[in-house]
C-alpha cells in the first residue's frame, strides 16, 4: 500500500510544508471543509446516477437486467463505503489521496451504465424479434423500486432460463405454464425487452404493440 510520511493537503494533495497549503492557499481546517463539501456533492451525483441507472432499466429493460442491477448495486455500496472512508480518514488526519481518487473514479460509473442503456436503445434499428416460450416461474418484490419478473425457458444457447423484466400488467396477465411470446429488441449489443404478449394476440396484432412498459 502507498504510504508516504509527508502530510498532504486534504483539498489538493500537495505536500504540506507550513500552516497554509502552497497548492491551494488554504489552511487545513479550510481544506477539510472544502473536501467535505465536495464529497457531499459527489456523493449526491453518485446517488443520482444510480437512480438514473435504475430508471433506465425500467425504460429500456435489458434481458440481463438482474445481472446489471447486481453489478450496479456492488458499485453503489463500494462507492458509499469509499465516501465514508474518505470522510473518516480526513477527520483522523490520515492520508486520503488514494481513497479520494478511487471514489472519484466510481462516481461516473452509474451514469455511464445508464447512458449505455439509453444509447443501446436509441441507436437500435434492428427489427423486434419474437421468441415463443413458456412461463416456468414468477417473481415479484415490492421494494422501494418494485421488481417483476417472468421466468421463462430460454431460447439462447447456454442459458436455461430468462428472467424477463415485465410491467405490472404483463405480470398479472400471465400464469406459470402459459405459452408467451417475448419480444426482444436487438439493441447495439445489449438485447432489451420490448414486451411479453400472448401467442395469439401476437399473431394478429404484430410486433408493434409491445413497446411500452
Ligand atoms: Zn491544498
Determine the average pLDDT of the residues in 160-170.
Answer: 95
Q: Taking a C-beta distance cutoff of 8 angstroms, is the pair 116, 190 a contact?
A: yes
List the Cα angle 116/52/60 in 5-degree steps.
55
Q: Calculate how far, in angstroms, residue 37's C-alpha sits from the geometric centre of ligand 1.
A: 15
> What is the gyration radius of the CA atoms in the chain, in angstroms?
24
Stretch (H or E) spanning 188: none
pLDDT at 145: 81
Q: Which residues is 169 bridged to in the sheet?
A: none
The pLDDT-based confidence of 4 (bands split at 50, 70, 90) is low
pLDDT at 199: 92
Q: Position of cell 504510504?
A: 3
Tell me the C-alpha distance between 81 and 78, whole Å.
Answer: 5
Q: Calculate how far, in angstroms, residue 30's C-alpha sits from the geometric centre of ligand 1.
A: 10
pLDDT at 33: 92
Least confident segment among 92-96, 161-165, 176-180, 209-213: 209-213
pLDDT at 93: 79
pLDDT at 150: 96
Stretch (H or E) spanning 154: none
Tell me the C-alpha distance between 103 and 2, whole Å.
Answer: 16
pLDDT at 109: 96
The pLDDT-based confidence of 3 (bands split at 50, 70, 90) is low
Q: Taking a C-beta distance cutoff of 8 angstroms, is the pair 199, 132 a contact?
A: yes
pTM (predicted TM-score): 0.84
Percent of the chain with pLDDT over 70: 92
Taking 90 as the threshold, does the pLDDT of residue 63 lie above it?
Answer: yes
Q: Which residues is 192 bridged to in the sheet?
A: 62, 185
Ordered by where they begin, the domains of the chain are 28-122 (no CATH), 129-205 (2.40.50)
Q: Calculate how far, in angstroms, residue 69's C-alpha sits from the geometric centre of ligand 1.
A: 38
CA quadruple 91, 92, 94, 100: dihedral, nearest 10: -30
Q: Calculate how far, in angstroms, residue 93's C-alpha sits from the geometric centre of ligand 1.
A: 14
Determine the average pLDDT of the residues in 99-113.
Answer: 95
161-165: strand order across its sheet: 161-165, 147-153, 129-141, 179-185, 192-197
Q: Calculate how far, in angstroms, residue 6's C-alpha sits from the geometric centre of ligand 1.
A: 13
| Nearest Cα to Cα of residue 93 among 8, 189, 1 | 8
The 10s digit of each residue's pLDDT in 74-104 is 999 999 999 999 999 988 878 888 999 999 9
pLDDT at 201: 52
Amino acid at each position: 500500500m502507498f504510504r508516504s510520511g509527508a502530510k498532504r493537503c486534504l483539498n489538493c494533495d500537495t505536500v504540506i510544508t507550513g500552516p497554509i497549503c502552497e497548492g491551494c492557499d488554504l489552511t487545513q481546517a479550510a481544506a477539510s471543509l472544502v473536501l467535505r463539501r465536495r464529497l457531499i456533492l459527489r456523493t449526491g451525483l453518485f446517488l443520482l446516477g444510480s437512480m438514473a441507472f435504475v430508471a433506465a432499466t425500467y425504460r429500456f429493460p435489458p434481458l440481463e437486467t438482474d445481472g446489471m442491477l447486481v453489478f450496479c448495486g456492488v458499485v453503489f455500496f463500494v462507492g458509499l463505503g469509499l465516501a465514508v472512508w474518505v470522510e473518516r480518514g480526513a477527520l483522523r488526519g490520515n492520508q486520503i489521496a488514494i481513497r479520494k481518487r478511487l471514489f472519484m473514479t466510481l462516481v461516473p460509473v452509474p451514469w455511464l451504465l445508464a447512458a449505455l442503456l439509453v444509447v443501446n436503445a436509441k441507436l437500435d434499428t434492428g427489427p423486434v424479434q419474437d421468441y415463443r416460450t413458456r412461463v416456468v416461474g414468477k417473481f415479484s418484490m415490492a421494494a422501494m423500486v418494485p421488481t417483476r419478473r417472468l421466468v421463462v425457458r430460454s431460447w439462447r444457447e447456454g442459458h436455461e432460463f430468462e428472467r424477463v423484466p415485465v410491467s405490472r400488467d404483463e405480470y398479472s396477465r400471465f400464469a406459470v405454464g402459459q405459452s408467451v411470446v417475448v419480444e426482444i429488441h436487438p439493441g447495439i449489443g445489449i438485447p432489451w425487452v420490448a414486451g411479453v404478449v400472448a401467442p395469439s394476440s401476437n399473431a394478429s396484432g404484430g410486433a408493434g404493440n409491445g413497446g411500452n412498459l
